[in-house]
């Protein structure tokens, strides 16, 4: 871990927007969800919420994601009711990107409040059940024969507007807005992904880091872990 990389990681974490997310509703193509994940990282979104019914095969296409799955956590939900309840419990309003007679220009809603942008599959759009929970339906004006952009392109356009509104409101300049425990856990996982996986697999607390982002006294930490394990066996 170089000081330059540690500074960069902390800088990115300080700009994460814990009250902003995307909810993917019925998006099955790995290329699309992966491209959306990449855009989420670019605008400072920490989690992408994804409705994936049990038994449905959906994954991240690494080529499109560009490694963003390491920086943005995909949170899967088995159905729309659970996903919506989870976001509303966090105080978020939902904006559905959906073409309808009541839809407003995507630039006319307030993205500086805690919110989730809901994106649906290109043919069906956002499901009726999810739309019923949304505060507004938004649309991107079109000037050609096609009715809509590809969903990943639409996500990029909408999230670019989200970022501009939040930049004007100073929400990227306030220092870390993540809860302290989440910040520290994420910082360690980003700095030391292999060690983090080692700890999770063995149900161990993460070791402390020093001011430069390195693991503080790793030999002493390993010795303590071994001693605790031996004590458990006796």
Residues of each domain in the chain carrying CATH 3.40.1280.10: 17-168
What is the pLDDT averaged over residues 140-154?
89
Cα Rg, the chain, nearest whole Å: 20
* Known binding-site residue numbers: 140
Summarize pLDDT for 43-56 with one digit per residue, the tens: 999 999 999 876 66
CATH fit for domain 17-168, picks 3.40.1280.10, 2.20.140.10, 1.10.1040.10, 3.30.230.70: 3.40.1280.10
Q: What is the pTM of this model?
A: 0.87
Q: Pairing relation of β-strands 73-77 and 93-97?
A: unpaired
Per-residue model confidence (pLDDT) at position 64: 46
* Known binding-site residue numbers for S-adenosyl-L-methionine: 140
Give the C-alpha separation, 130 to 118, whole Å.
Answer: 8
Per-residue model confidence (pLDDT) at position 59: 59
Summarize pLDDT for 71-116 with one digit per residue, the tens: 999 899 999 999 999 999 999 999 999 988 999 999 999 999 999 9
- In this prediction, residue 62 has a pLDDT band, given cuts at 50, 70 and 90, of low
Per-residue model confidence (pLDDT) at position 121: 82
């Amino acid at each position: 871990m170089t000081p330059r990389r540690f500074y960069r990681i902390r800088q990115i974490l300080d700009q994460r927007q814990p009250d902003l997310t995307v909810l993917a509703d019925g998006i099955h193509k790995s290329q699309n969800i992966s491209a959306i994940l990449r855009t989420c990282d670019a605008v400072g979104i920490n989690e992408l919420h994804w409705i994936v019914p049990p038994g449905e095969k959906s994954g991240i296409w690494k080529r499109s994601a560009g490694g963003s799955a390491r920086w943005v956590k995909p949170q899967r939900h088995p159905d729309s009711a659970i996903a919506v309840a989870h976001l509303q419990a966090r105080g978020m309003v939902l904006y559905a990107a959906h073409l309808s007679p009541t839809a407003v220009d995507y630039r006319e809603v307030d993205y500086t409040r805690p919110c989730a942008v809901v994106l649906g599959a290109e043919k069906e759009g956002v499901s009726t059940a999810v739309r019923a929970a949304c505060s507004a339906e938004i649309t991107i004006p079109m000037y050609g024969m096609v009715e809509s952009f590809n969903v990943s392109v639409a996500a990029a356009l909408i999230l670019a507007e989200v970022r501009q509104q939040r930049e004007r409101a100073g929400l990227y300049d306030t220092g870390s807005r993540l809860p302290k425990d989440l910040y520290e856990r994420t910082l360690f996982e980003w700095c030391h992904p292999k060690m983090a996986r080692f700890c999770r697999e063995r149900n161990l607390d993460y070791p402390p880091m020093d001011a430069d982002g390195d693991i503080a006294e790793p030999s002493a930490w390993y010795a303590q872990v071994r001693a605790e394990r031996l004590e458990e066996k006796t």
